[in-house]
Chain A
Amino acid sequence: MSEPIIKINDVNKWFGDFQVLKNINLDVNAKQKIVVCGPSGSGKSTLIRCINRLEEHQEGKIIVDGNELNENTKNIEEIRAEVGMVFQQFNLFPHLSILDNCTLAPIWVKKMPKKKAEELALNQLEQVQIVDQAYKFPGQLSGGQQQRSAIARALCMEPKIMLFDEPTSALDPEMIKEVLDAMVNLAKGGMTMIVVTHEMGFAKEVADEVIFMDEGMIVEKNTTKEFFANPKSDRTKLFLSQIL
C-alpha cells in the first residue's frame, strides 16, 4: 500500500487549559473518503482545521502530502492551496460575484491567466449546477446555492484533498439534498475527502471509513458497514441510537 496522503500522529491540542484533541492518530490514503461524526464540542472541526493549519496543534505530527505542518513551515500557503475547505457558514466573499469568488485564488495564488481561470470556474460551477448564477453576488443566492458555490470555489484550486466542516448544518432541510448530491458526485470522481457531518445517509452512501469522536478522542474508527451494523463501543451505540 502506498504512503498515506495525510498522517496524523499523537496530536494533542489545548485551548487554554481545555484539551480539545487527545492523542489523535489517523492515516488517510489518497482517494479515501472519511466521515467524522460525534456530538458538538467533541473536537471534529478542530481536527480538520488542523489539517490545513487554520488551527495550530501543540504536540504530535501532522504530515500532509509529505510536508510536515509546524511553526517552521514556510510553504503553508502552498499546502493550503492543495487542500480545499468548505465551511459551515459558506464564507463566500460578499463583495465579489460568484465567478470572481471562484477565480480570485486561481488567478492570484496559482498565477493562472484570467481567461483560463474563468473557463475552469464556469466548468466547476457547471458541475454543481449553478452556472446560471455565476454573475450574481453571494447575497442574492439561497443557502444551498451559496454552499455549492463554495464547493466550486474550493475545487477551482484543483486540490488533492477536500475538507468539509459541517457543510449542511446551516442549511434549510430542503436544501441539504442539493449540497449532498454535489458532494456525492465529487466522491464518485475520486477525490480524497474528510467530511465532518451529521448526515448519516451520506456516510452510508460514500464513506470508506467512519470515525466517531467524543471529548477530543477518536472513540471508534471503523469501516462504514461495520460502524453502522455492529459498532464496538457503547458510546457509539448510544450516539447512533440517538441520531438514527
Chain B
Amino acid sequence: MKISLSQIKSNNYITNIYLGTFLFSLSIFDVFLYSFLNINITSFLPGNLSLFFPLIIGFIGLSFIRMEYSGIKIIDNLNKHINTSNFNALLTLIIIFALLKALPPALSWMVLDANISGDTKQACTGTGACWTYIKVWFKRFMYGMYPNEMHWRINSAFILVIALGFVGYFFKENLKKYLALYYVVIYPIIAFLIIYYLISGGSFGLVWVETGAWGGLSLTFIVSFFCLIFCFPLGMILALGRRSNLPTVRYTSICYIEFWRGVPLITVLFMSSVMFPMFLPEDFFMDKLVRVIIAITLFEAAYCAEVIRGGLQALPRGQYDAAKSLGMGYWKMHIFVILPQALKLVIPGIANTFLALVKDTPLIFVVGLAEIAGMLALAKTNPKWLGFAMEGYIFAAIIFWIICYAMSKYSYNLEQKYKTER
C-alpha cells in the first residue's frame, strides 16, 4: 500500500500553508523549549515518541507547505532551497534540531558558566570552562619560555618580516621581473637574518636566547614560515626533475620523492635531532631548530613536487610545441609558458599541502621543541593547573583553525585572481 501525504492535503492551498506553518513552527518551538529551558511539552507521550515528536510533525508540516507556487516569498524560498523533496526536508529538520540541541550546552560551558577572572585555579568556581588558565598561561602559549621582558624582540621581528613580505607589491614595472628572485632567494635570507639577529640575539647588545627557550605560537610561525618558503621552490625543481629527459636527473628526483613520501614525519624528526648530529664532524654545530626546519622542508618538498607535477601534466602538449617552435629553450619555455600556467592550476593542491604542513608542526614536540600544542602539553601537567586540558585544546584548536582558514581563504582569492578563460 502506498501512503501519500498528498492525499491528506486540503484542496485549498491557503489552509495547507496555515496548517503546515503551524506544525513546522510547533516542532521548532518544542525543540527550542526543551534544549534552552528544559521544558518538555510532549512529556505526556510515551518514551521514544516524545523524542521524535518534533521531527514527525515538522516533517508533516513541511510536506503541507510544499507546493509549486504560493505567492508568499518566504514560503517560496523555503520550498526552493530546503523543502524540495521529503528527503531534503527530513535532512534539514535533523540538522536544525541537532544544532538547537548542541548549541545551548556548548554556549553555557564556553561563555555563560565560564570563569576568566582571578589568576589561580581557585578562581574557577563555575561549572563551565576555566579561561583563567588560558589567561595566566597566555604569554607562554604565545612565546614559549622566551624571557618575558624580551618579547618585544619577537614581535618586532615578526612585524619586520611581514612588512618585507609586502614589499613585492610596491615593485616598479621595470623591477617586476625580479619578483620571483626576491621571494625565492632574497626574502628568505633577509627573514632568516632578522630572526637570527633579533630573536636569537647574541650581538648588537642583545642577550643570546637559545632556541630551546623559543616556543608557543611564535615558534609555530617560525617553523611554518621557513618550511613553506623553502619547500615550494625545492618541490618545483623536483617536479621538473621528475619529468626531465636526462636519466640521472629523473631517477634522482624519483628516488628522492619516493623516499621522503615513504617515511613518517615523526621518524624524520627523530633522525634529524638524534642521529644526524652523529654524522657531523665534532666541531661542527647545527642548531636543533635549524635541523628540524630542514627536515620538515625536505619532507614536504616531496609532496609539493607531486602536486606541481600534476599541474605540469594537465597542460596540453600544444603549449610545449608552441613554445619550442618559437625558439625557446627548456628554461625559457618553463619559466614563461609552462610554470605560470601549471602553478595556477595547482593553487588548491599547494594550499592543501601547506595547510597540512602547518598542522604537522606540533610534531616537533617529540624532539623537545614546544610550539603552541607542545606548550599546552607542558602546561596541562603543571601540578597547580591540573584538569584543564579541555580548555587548552579548544584554545589551540581555535588558533589553528583561524590560521588555516585564513590560508584557505587567501588561496581561494589567488585562484580567483589568476583565473583566465582557456
Contact = CB atoms under 8 A, between A and B. Distances in A.
Interface of A: 49, 52, 54, 77-78, 80-85, 87, 89, 91-95, 104-105, 108-110, 137, 139-140, 150, 153-154, 157
Interface in B311-369: 316, 318-319, 321-329, 332, 336-337, 340-341, 344
Nearest to B329: A77
A95 B322 contact: no
SS class, residues of chain B in contact with chain A? helix
A93 B322 contact: yes
B294 to A, nearest CB: 34
Contact of B420 (A83, A110, A137): A137
A92 B337 CA distance: 10
B417 interface: no
B172 interface: no
B113 to A, nearest CB: 56
A239 to B, nearest CB: 28
B363 to A, nearest CB: 37
B257 to A, nearest CB: 27
Q: Which of B319, B322, B421 has the most CB of A within 10 A?
A: B322
Q: Which of A83, A108, A137, A154 has the most CB of B within 10 A?
A: A108
B319 A80 contact: no
Contacts of A108: 328, 332, 336
Contacts of A87: 318, 321-322, 325
Contacts of A92: 322
Contacts, number: 74
A81 B326 contact: yes
Nearest to A93: B337
Q: How large is the interface on B (under 10, 10 to 19, 20 to 34, 35 or more residues)?
A: 20 to 34
Contacts of A52: 324-325
A22 B325 CA distance: 24
A106 B158 CA distance: 43
Given A139-B422, A140-B421, A95 B340 contact: yes
18 contacts: A49-B321, A52-B324, A80-B325, A80-B327, A81-B327, A85-B321, A87-B318, A87-B322, A87-B325, A89-B318, A91-B316, A92-B322, A93-B319, A93-B323, A95-B344, A105-B328, A109-B327, A150-B322
Given A80-B325, A85-B325, A95-B344, A137 B336 contact: no
B421 A109 contact: no
Contact of A77 (B319, B321, B327, B418): B327
Contact of B326 (A89, A95, A104): A104
Nearest to B421: A139
B361 to A, nearest CB: 33
Contacts of A82: 327
Contacts of B332: 108-109
Contacts of A95: 340-341, 344, 418, 420
B179 to A, nearest CB: 15
